[in-house]
Chains A and B, each alone.
Chain A
Amino acid sequence: MSSSFSRRALLKGAALGGLATTGALSGCASGPPPGTATWSMWSSSPEENRVWADFGRYVERRMHIRSASTLTPSDSYPTKLDLQLVSGTAGMVTALNGWLIPTYASRGAHRPLDDLIAADPDFDLDDFYPAIRSISSFAGHTYAIGFDVAPTVLYYNRTLLERNGVDPPSPTEPMSWDTFRDLAVELSEPKDQYGFTCAPSIDDLVSWIYCAGGDVVDGDRGTSPLDAPEALEAIHYVVDLFVKDRATPPIDNLAQSASGAALANFLQGNVAFMQNGPWQVLNVREAPFTWDVVPFPAGPAGSTPRVSGSSFAIPSGVRGDDLELAWRLLKTLTSTGALDIYARAGRNNPARLSAASAFEPPPANLGIVQRILKGEVAGGHPFNVTTNWNRVRLLLGQDLPRAFLGQVSVRDAIDGVMPRLNALMRQHRDAVRQAA
């Protein structure tokens, strides 16, 4: 009896202990103490983690307070950020990919920074490249401060070109589309060697559309010019490289991340040219061949590929003393000193002109990135997106790849998406008007 009683008592005790532990653990999950500088960022590799840890130490050194960053893999970052914003658990400063800024701004998830900028004589917005200022704005207001910005460039495999007796392209003068196509076709011999790689997605296609003088978004007119002759010419050009010229590695599946698949192809060493941004420089440095970057090929409207960037913003829920702290934190995270750390690690071109010198070779021609942004060489086009770009991207991501696979003609693919695309453009127009 006594042994039965003690066993039962033990079991009861275990059950009660479990409940108490659960309660205690849930009580502990209350977040960092007040006055901590909290910020959110995406990070998908140990190298990136190290950069953000350095940022955290820099913040603590400069602000003399504790820094607490929440790092999330880039694929799941937007969803996690959404949930944090809704539940009021987001950091007082959150990193935003430039193409998501109109999405968050139009929904009131982040606050405009104009009042904070105007009240702070120490903050020099002119030290940021105009492209990132444009990307970080919505409806005439600044919603974020950039930390990186860069145009899409053309990577080339110098070893492969030399092996095929082809001179490297000019480091400053963009190739014409005709020249580029001829080279891509010529370098697609012998078997298993390819002239060019890019992702069969709107993210990459849009650079060619800009170079042809077209666009996906036309202000807030409520219609998309994707079926205009300029855009169609660009789409035909790229699709032909895939389908007619067979100058690109075959598409294996449609689920790989856009730039990831192109990078993987290029790193194999059997692809002559890759369309990508300087944010891949760090990864391409691992390549077992010599390479460099040159300006993007010039179409009928010149060399004006997509210019993308990322920024830090303050959620709308941050108020009072926290707002003052958040602004100090945002300024520190985007200061020349912080961006020096970022650029020196090779992550990407910094958004500040005063930090530009920290983004150094290799490759030898890396300086072209800043010259393009300053308008000294070639050109660029800020990534023009809508307040519902997620949906636009999804729609085009579903239907355009069929053209790249040769399953449907470009005309049919575009005609198929236009009604739904225009519906999204009308939704965007309404959102912009409502925000204004």
Chain B
Amino acid sequence: MAVETPTAATEAPRRGPRGPLRRPRLRRHGSETVAAWLFLLPSLVGFLVFTAGPVVAAGVISLLDWNLFSPPHFIGLDNFARLGPDTTFWSALGNTAYFTFVSVPLTLLVSLGLAVLLNQGLRRMAVFRSLLLLPYATITVAVAFVWVWLYIPHDGLINAVLGAFGIDGPAWLISDDWAMPALILMSVWKSFGFGMVIFLAGLQAIPQQLYEAARVDGASPWRTFRAVTLPLLSPSVFFTVITSIIGSFQVFDQALVMTDGGPGTSTTTLVMYIYRTGFQNYEQGYAAAQSMVLFAFIVVITAAQFLLQRRLVHYDL
């Protein structure tokens, strides 16, 4: 140390990284930071104005009695208290949960199955991949109209096919029991392409040596899938589950076009009920309270998944 001190004073400019080079690097970091913020700014402004802002605004509106046209009145938590006895709200929440917890696992299974199939080195895989991605790339409303035709009870294509096998098809969209499964089936068909592409990318990132090692160890295909594929695919699965659940809780278009929430309220989803409360019943405060509850549900479920991912998701080989 005694030797170093005078040397440090005199030779500081030549000491390399800790000396004179630090300032240019800081300058460079500074300018990169500015550039990064500039690039982030449009997205950040968009997020603040169109996402965070409305969430805060909805929180404030949920405390008001406001019919859009008359001046709003502060009513505290009254709108939240109304939720308790509102059977339609709970029915809509139940329908949404039913839709989510059936459609998301089904979509994941179909996506994963197809991704595994496509990962077998099939010829013309790009063609298959594009074809299978097509439903996801189409507009939900347009697809929903096509499915309305498919589901026509007396001469729709689905019941015609079932009839060819001697099966008397259900009344689908006009049946209390079958309307929601019909929506789920359509949604699975519409959405599996997204998960499939994510899973396919995840599968192609798994090193082949691991499969070779499993083969050398005599592991069966199922054992290999469980011990190698699934753990290494878990980040993709986690991402797909999170985005699918959030999307499913917000289901609206297909229910509006295909059933208008009926028969009765059997396919009325929460977002549909929020829309109707706010823009058909003119109860903006109550609609905002419902949307805050939906927001809380999504936050809780997403937080729970993030907690679970520490045990179930493997980011390292």
Contacts and interface: CB of A to CB of B under 8 A. Distances in A.
Interface of A: 8, 11-12, 15-16, 18-19, 22, 78-79, 82, 85-86, 103-104, 107-109, 250-255, 316, 388, 390-391, 394, 397-399, 401-402, 405, 407
A107 B69 CA distance: 6
Nearest to A431: B67
Tell me the interface secondary structure of chain B in the complex: loop
Given A15-B41, A398-B265, A255 B69 contact: no
Contact of B154 (A108, A250, A391): A250
B281 A252 contact: no
Interface size class of B (residues with CB under 8 A): 35 or more
Contact of B70 (A107, A388, A401): A107
Contacts of B281: 388, 390-391, 394
B176 interface: yes
Interface of B: 31, 35, 38-39, 41-42, 67-70, 148, 151-154, 156, 171, 173-174, 176, 256-265, 268, 276, 279-282
B284 to A, nearest CB: 9
Contacts of B39: 11, 15
Given A15-B41, A18-B42, A405-B263, A253 B280 contact: no
B38 A82 contact: no
Nearest to A16: B38
Nearest to B277: A391
A397 B38 contact: no
B143 to A, nearest CB: 14
A391 B280 contact: yes
Contacts of B173: 252-255
Given A85-B69, A107-B67, A252-B153, A19 B42 contact: yes
A86 B284 CA distance: 12
B42 A12 contact: no
Contacts of A104: 69
Contacts of A316: 69
Question: Which of B31, B259, B263: most chain A Cβ within 10 A?
Answer: B263
A393 B277 CA distance: 13
Contacts of A12: 35, 38
A254 B69 contact: no
21 contacts: A8-B31, A12-B35, A15-B38, A15-B39, A19-B41, A79-B279, A82-B282, A85-B68, A85-B69, A103-B282, A252-B148, A252-B154, A254-B173, A254-B259, A254-B262, A316-B69, A390-B280, A390-B281, A390-B282, A397-B262, A405-B174
B276 A394 contact: yes
Contact of A252 (B174, B261, B268): B174
Given A8-B35, A388-B281, A390-B280, A254 B154 contact: no
Contacts of B261: 398
A253 B151 contact: yes
A254 B174 contact: yes
Contacts of A82: 68, 279, 282
Nearest to A79: B279
A108 B70 contact: yes
Contact of B258 (A86, A103, A255, A390): A255
B31 to A, nearest CB: 7
Contacts of B262: 254-255, 397-398, 401
Nearest to B262: A254
B146 to A, nearest CB: 13
Contacts of B258: 253, 255
A362 B151 CA distance: 37
